[in-house]
Amino acid sequence: MIQLDLIVIVPFALAILAGLVGMIRPSAAKWVGLAVPLAQGALLVSLARAGVFAGRTFGGSLSSDTSIWRLTVDGLAAPLLALTVVTGLLAIAASWRVDNRPGAHFALLALLQGAVAGVFAADSLVLFYIAWECVLVPMFLLIAGWGSAGARRASMKFLIFTFAGGAVLLVGVIATVVIAGTDSITAIASMGGVPVYSTLVFWLLAIGFLVKVPAVPLHTWLPDAHTEAPTAGSIVLAGVLLKMGGYGLIRIALPFAPRAFDLAAPILAALGLIGIVWGAATALVQSDLKRLVAYSSVAHMGFVLLAISIATPASLAAAVVTMVSHGLVAGLLFFLVGALYGRAHTRELSAFGGLGSVTPRWAIAFVFASLASAGLPGLSGFPGEFVTSIEAFSSVGWWTLVAGVGIVLAAAYNLRAVRSTVQGPVGGFESLADLDALETASVALMAVAIIAVGVAPWLLTDGATTAVSMVAQLVGRGV
């Protein structure tokens, strides 16, 4: 279907347009920026009408056998594409008032949207890698050019860490193509993965993905990059960039080397559990609100990793739900922290207090987002992590309790954040502007999405069932 090709190509075309418009009329660039997620959303809706969320698979129209431009989308990729659209909208809203070189800013955001869509839609392994690396430079420039004080160091760290991960991935990609004799992700999966050297291939691919997830101890680029990035950058980073790692593991690493995965599963589970506890415990002691949210990402992505290591159909579906949920919730939290920082020019927890009476709309939104992050039933954080914990018992046994500790810690750091900002006596800021209409509308959109995923997670999992069951079957853990 041509819509699938366009979902990747249109953002790149609009990126050029945004850059040109930005040179002529800087204030108009944001409208081009807004057109990117809107266009992607419209294209995704038309794909949805064709049944992509019901588990049907579609290929791109511009594909040919001799080129690497081969796209496919199924129930596993579709929820993540939807997440890309929603967080893309939020990122545009967060940067609506950017006046520092807006043309370049919105062009970079558009590039990110296109590249991420390319990752989720690629069927050629080489195209997947190209799209994967296309994310790198725009995000680097976004952090370096529009970030806060320490952005230069953080952007370099981000660039080198993720490029190093990407380079390992490239070796894995080339090795896979050489050994399997084809670069089609579907074909390699259906032939049961690579015939030889499966352990080597698995770890080359997995290390590339684990850096992006990020798994402790490969996570150290994340807190810096998140903290120093501009709000829109943080939203895209947490919202979709981390999901590329999880998606890569499910879509590529597992099916390509099922036997090696079987041996590696306990290691991945351990990495997941460590991430859950490490991320949550570190979040608990942060004094910077944005760093706190950044570390909570490590914890939530730890759940994703744990779910992937179990690799049953239910746990893989839970991984998808957790990824979408974390994208929505962390995106919203970064949006709110960014809004607060834009007004107060500090993110120190100790500087705030009593915002419930100063900025009631912000306070309500922040409490809502924190509860979602803590995994309150009815909101999006709950179903994925709940199912993961249940499934984990059959796989890692009583070690699941470690994840339980992480859940308790999640409640603790989220409530601590709420307590020191929203509640208590009014701190240093007695009058701050509350969320304006645009911000309130953006928050409302996210809240609707968070509640929808929380109440009806099957909206995502129904379509994904076919794809994840196949992966589970390939690694010998299907029903």
Residues that bind other proteins (CB under 8 A): 62, 66-69, 104, 126-127, 129-130, 133-134, 136-137, 140-141, 144-145, 152, 156, 159-160, 163-164, 167-168, 170-171, 174-175, 177-179, 197
- The residue among 50 and 171 lying less far from other proteins, judged by its C-beta, is 171
Min dist. Cβ of residue 242 to other proteins (A): 20
- The residue among 183 and 385 lying less far from other proteins, judged by its C-beta, is 183
Helix (H, G, I), strand (E, B) or coil at 271: helix
Min dist. Cβ of residue 264 to other proteins (A): 21
Helix (H, G, I), strand (E, B) or coil at 50: coil
- The residue among 140 and 413 lying less far from other proteins, judged by its C-beta, is 140
Alpha carbons 230 and 106: distance in angstroms, whole number: 12
Min dist. Cβ of residue 167 to other proteins (A): 5
- The residue among 200 and 445 lying less far from other proteins, judged by its C-beta, is 200
- The residue among 112 and 363 lying less far from other proteins, judged by its C-beta, is 112
Min dist. Cβ of residue 339 to other proteins (A): 25
Alpha carbons 419 and 423: distance in angstroms, whole number: 5
Residues paired with 58 in a beta bridge = 73
Min dist. Cβ of residue 232 to other proteins (A): 18
Min dist. Cβ of residue 131 to other proteins (A): 8
Task: Decide if 426 contacts 357 (C-beta within 8 A).
Answer: yes
Alpha carbons 320 and 120: distance in angstroms, whole number: 13
- The residue among 198 and 388 lying less far from other proteins, judged by its C-beta, is 198
Task: Decide if 151 contacts 248 (C-beta within 8 A).
Answer: no
- The residue among 159 and 464 lying less far from other proteins, judged by its C-beta, is 159
Among 156, 152, 151, which residue's Cα sits nearest to residue 137? Answer: 156
Min dist. Cβ of residue 180 to other proteins (A): 11
- The residue among 145 and 478 lying less far from other proteins, judged by its C-beta, is 145
**Which residue has tokens 């290691």?**
267
Angle at 141 between CA 135 and CA 145, to 5 degrees: 150
Min dist. Cβ of residue 66 to other proteins (A): 4
Min dist. Cβ of residue 14 to other proteins (A): 16
**Which residue has tokens 């794909």?**
47
Min dist. Cβ of residue 207 to other proteins (A): 12
Among 435, 288, 433, 317, which residue's Cα sits nearest to residue 384? Answer: 317
- The residue among 132 and 335 lying less far from other proteins, judged by its C-beta, is 132
Alpha carbons 85 and 105: distance in angstroms, whole number: 18
- Say which residues have a Cβ less than 8 Å from residue 226's Cβ, sequence separation at least 6: 234, 237, 238, 290, 291, 293, 294, 297, 334
Torsions phi, psi for 472 (to 5 deg): -60, -40
- Burial letters for 435-470: b for 16+ Cβ neighbours within 10 Å, e otherwise? beeebeebbebbbebbeebbeebeebbebbbbbbbb
- The residue among 1 and 38 lying less far from other proteins, judged by its C-beta, is 1
Min dist. Cβ of residue 156 to other proteins (A): 6
Alpha-carbon radius of gyration of the chain: 21
- The residue among 91 and 107 lying less far from other proteins, judged by its C-beta, is 107
Q: What is the DSSP string of 66-114?
A: SSS--BEE-TTHHHHHHHHHHHHHHHHHHTTT--SSHHHHHHHHHHHHH
Task: Decide if 139 contacts 222 (C-beta within 8 A).
Answer: no
